[in-house]
């Protein structure tokens, strides 16, 4: 039975990049190297009197060189796919040697088909002799004496040993060229791989952070719903149906507003305060004569950004501790300020009322553990050490929680 075409692959090549995946990078380095070579050839040609012939004679060198460099890249990409950098370097070294021999051998064999340059080179010797080279001819001028003219031997006129030595010298020159390209290409490929790894690591870290923020955010809603339903049940059982109906309407508005938002997105301070007003409206239905709410949020900070529902666990705990330990009226105050440029500070304070006397210290509500711990974890996941949570009892009674985080705005 044949396996499906989309089967999983395990082993050393399971995570290897596709063959020739970096062909664009390779082509940039190849044509970049040969462009530099062409610039030097053109500059040299126009220093003489016959640049056309010089350039025409280099067409074969450049064309064949580019083809051999592309083949060298193909060898590196094929033979060492998914292998270590050392394997790639060995492949590049062997390929450079083969390419240099191939280019040198081709140039030696095609020497007879090259055009003869009309450029004349004159060299003044110390003893007054002038050497003049034009094409294959060398002329020696000695004052008033007749010049001596002879033709320089072509490679085809030399013996096999001499031809091999010339080809070997030429191969050594081109070996350094191909080796230099290989070094540049491997270095660029290594750098690109390192950058890709950094991007993947950053993406994985971002995804993990978003997943953590999402998980912490979703801890709030079930906890809040549980406590609100308990309050709603109490209203129904005590016959306060009108207040129960009002709480249901406000509860639906609160959840419609909070659950429709992206858990990982930030909201403006104005939006966050509006959500807390909805929540506190629900609690004021529950405690109509014992809960007083105050807000002091400057309009200049209304557009400041912060994680959605970051204040809700703190406000919930403030009501639990404040109203649960006294029969008196309690004031819950939410204030915001910018103590330093770029820093946002939000304080949630509950005070007022006389604590109930009890021989035993009351156990904290179960939801308290979710409260401040949830806020601290979300701020840490979102801002790292740039944000913090401070909390503690007030000297005159009550409790304060202060959040400090970077100020960012989205006025658009």
Give the pLDDT mean for 404-408: 91
Q: Read off the pLDDT of each residue in 374-399 and give the average, rounded to a whole number.
A: 86
pLDDT at 412: 46
- pLDDT interval class at 152 (50, 70, 90): low
Pick the range with the lowest mean pLDDT from 182-196, 265-279, 347-361.
Answer: 347-361
pLDDT reported for residue 360: 46
When mean pLDDT is compared over 1-15, 80-94, 351-365, the highest value belongs to: 80-94
| Range among 81-85, 328-332, 362-366 rated most confident | 328-332
* Residue carrying structure tokens 């009309």: 118
pLDDT at 296: 95
Region(s) of the chain under CATH 3.30.565.10: 240-406
DSSP for 66-98, please give it: HHHHHHHHHHHHHHTTT--HHHHHHHHHHHHHH
Q: Which positions ≥6 away from 235 have C-beta within 8 Å?
A: 241, 243, 244, 247, 285, 286
Report long-range pairs for 223-226 (Cβ below 8 Å, ≥24 apart): 223/313, 223/316, 223/367, 223/370, 224/279, 224/312, 224/316, 225/255, 226/367
Instruction: Say what the pTM is.
Output: 0.51
Mean pLDDT of 211-229: 63
- 240-406 topology per CATH: Heat Shock Protein 90 (3.30.565)
């Amino acid at each position: 039975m044949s396996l499906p075409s989309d089967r999983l692959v395990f082993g050393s090549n399971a995570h290897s990049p596709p063959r020739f995946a970096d062909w664009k990078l390779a082509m940039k380095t190849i044509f970049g190297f040969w462009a530099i070579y062409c610039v030097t050839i053109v500059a040299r040609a126009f220093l003489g009197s016959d640049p056309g012939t010089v350039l025409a004679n280099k067409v074969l060198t450049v064309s064949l060189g580019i083809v051999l460099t592309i083949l060298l890249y193909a060898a590196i990409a094929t033979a060492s796919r998914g292998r270590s950098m050392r394997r790639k370097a060995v492949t590049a070294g062997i390929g450079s040697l083969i390419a240099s021999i191939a280019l040198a051998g081709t140039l030696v064999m095609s020497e007879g088909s090259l055009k003869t340059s009309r450029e004349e080179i004159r060299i003044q010797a110390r003893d007054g002799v002038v050497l003049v080279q034009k094409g294959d001819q060398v002329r020696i001028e000695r004052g008033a004496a007749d010049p001596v003219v002879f033709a320089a031997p072509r490679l085809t006129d030399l013996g096999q040993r001499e031809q091999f030595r010339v080809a070997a010298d030429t191969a050594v020159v081109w070996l350094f060229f191909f080796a230099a390209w290989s070094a540049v290409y491997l270095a660029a490929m290594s750098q690109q791989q390192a950058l890709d790894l950094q991007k993947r690591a950053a993406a994985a870290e971002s995804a993990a952070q978003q997943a953590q923020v999402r998980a912490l955010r979703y801890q709030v809603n079930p906890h809040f719903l549980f406590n609100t339903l308990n309050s709603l049940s109490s209203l129904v059982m005590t016959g306060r149906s009108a207040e129960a109906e009002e709480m249901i309407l406000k509860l639906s508005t609160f959840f419609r507003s909070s659950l429709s938002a992206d858990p990982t997105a930030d909201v403006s301070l104005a939006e966050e305060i509006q959500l807390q007003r909805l929540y506190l409206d629900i609690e004021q239905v529950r405690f109509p004569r014992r809960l007083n709410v105050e807000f002091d949020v400057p309009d200049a900070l209304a557009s400041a950004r912060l994680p959605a529902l970051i204040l809700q666990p703190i406000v919930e705990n403030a009501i639990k501790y404040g109203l649960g330990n006294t029969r008196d009226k309690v004031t819950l105050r939410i204030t915001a300020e910018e103590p330093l440029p770029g820093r946002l500070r939000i304080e949630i304070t509950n005070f007022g009322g006389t604590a109930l006397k009890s021989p035993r210290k009351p156990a904290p509500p179960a939801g308290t553990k979710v409260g401040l711990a949830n806020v601290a974890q979300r701020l840490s996941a979102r801002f790292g050490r740039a944000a913090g949570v401070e909390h503690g009892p007030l000297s005159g009674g009550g409790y304060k929680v202060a959040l400090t985080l970077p100020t960012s705005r989205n006025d658009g």
